[in-house]
Amino acid sequence: MIVTRFAPSPTGLLHLGHAYAAITAHESGDDFLLRIEDIDKGRSRDAFILAIFYDLKWLGLSWDEPTMRQSTRMGAYAEALVNLKARGLVYPCFCTRADIAAEIARAGEAQHFDALGPSGPGPDGPLYPGTCRACSRDEGLSRMAAGESYALRLDVARAAALVGPLTFTERGLLHAVDPLRFGDIVIARKDMPTSYHLAVVVDDAHQQVSLVTRGEDLLAATHIQRLLQALLKLPELIYAHHPLVLDENGKKFSKRDGAVSLESLREAGATPADIRARIGL
């Protein structure tokens, strides 16, 4: 049985890109789940969760109840973190964005290459240059005791060495995992005790998702998520990333750019069939 999911963050109204992702996931599985990814408490709104339910029902989709909300799953993420910490795979990082930018500039001038390679652009922006990885345990503890805020990062090189070479299956093709391409990712943010990658991996396993369909902008994230699955001994999933729906200017729809929402299309008279036609489904 194929279990798929649609996992929106309730930080805005759904747009045509979300409709494409949700319908694709719904049509690809025998069982379809909705998961509300609301770990970012500062940006998530209950009103957007209700709007997600309304839009998906309007599109004719149904999902297994109850709907999981990631904000209720902090205990499970904490357990996964304890596991990684106990194996020495995690270190505290006190750097601010400005510290990271300054370190990257300095490293560039000195032609200094971190063990992970040049701190060039990764899929999520510049790679973390590894500054705090070199901190001693005592220094870390004393900065924590002094009340400095910190994130937790995964020591990716060490983690990758521990699990050995990995692959993932994308649309029937085997891809070699390149875990270093993101650098030492944050697995618990300064303002929340988890991160997107950790929460997704823990929840996909908990919900017994077997096929992940999502936009191809998240294909790169699969490399790090596969590494986390292996570290946490979670089942391997299969993946099918789909092209993004583009607007008339060839740009991807984004909540930030105020993309036309399903709600406003509906209010302007569009039917669910019109939405499907506009996104080629």
Binding region for ligand GLU (CB under 6 A): 7-9, 37, 200, 214, 218
Q: Pseudo-torsion of CA 225, 227, 229, 232, nearest 10°?
A: -130
Q: Angle of helix 196-206 relative to helix 74-86, nearest 10 degrees? A: 110
Nearer to ligand GLU, 9 or 71 (CB): 9
For the CB of residue 131, give the shortest distance to ligand GLU in the complex, in Å. Answer: 28
- Minimum CB separation of residue 218 from ligand GLU in Å reads 5
Burial of 20 (0-12, 13-18, 19+ CB in 10 A): buried
Of residues 39 and 230, the one with the C-beta less far from ligand GLU:
39
User: Residue 3 — φ and ψ, nearest 5°?
Assistant: -110, 125
d(CA 281, CA 140) in angstroms, rounded, equals 52
Q: How far is the CB of 266 from ligand GLU (least distance, A)?
A: 21
Q: Least distance (Å) from ligand GLU to the CB of residue 156? A: 19
Kindly tell me which of 127 and 221 has the beta carbon lying closer to ligand GLU.
221
Smaller CB separation from ligand GLU, 10 or 130: 10
In the complex, the smallest distance separating the C-beta of residue 230 from ligand GLU, rounded to whole angstroms, is: 17
Q: How far is 218 from 37, CA to CA, in rounded Å?
A: 15
Q: Of the two residues 158 and 189, which places its CB atom closer to ligand GLU in the complex? A: 189
Nearer to ligand GLU, 29 or 129 (CB): 29
Compare residues 133 and 197 and give the one whose CB is closer to ligand GLU: 197
Task: Give Cβ neighbours of residue 95 (< 8 Å, ≥ 6 apart).
Answer: 103, 128, 131, 132
Residue 168: φ, ψ to 5°: -140, 155
DSSP 63: -
Least Å distance, CB 181 to ligand GLU, is 17
Four-point Cα dihedral 64, 65, 70, 71, nearest 10: 170
Pairing of β 167-170 and β 121-122: unpaired
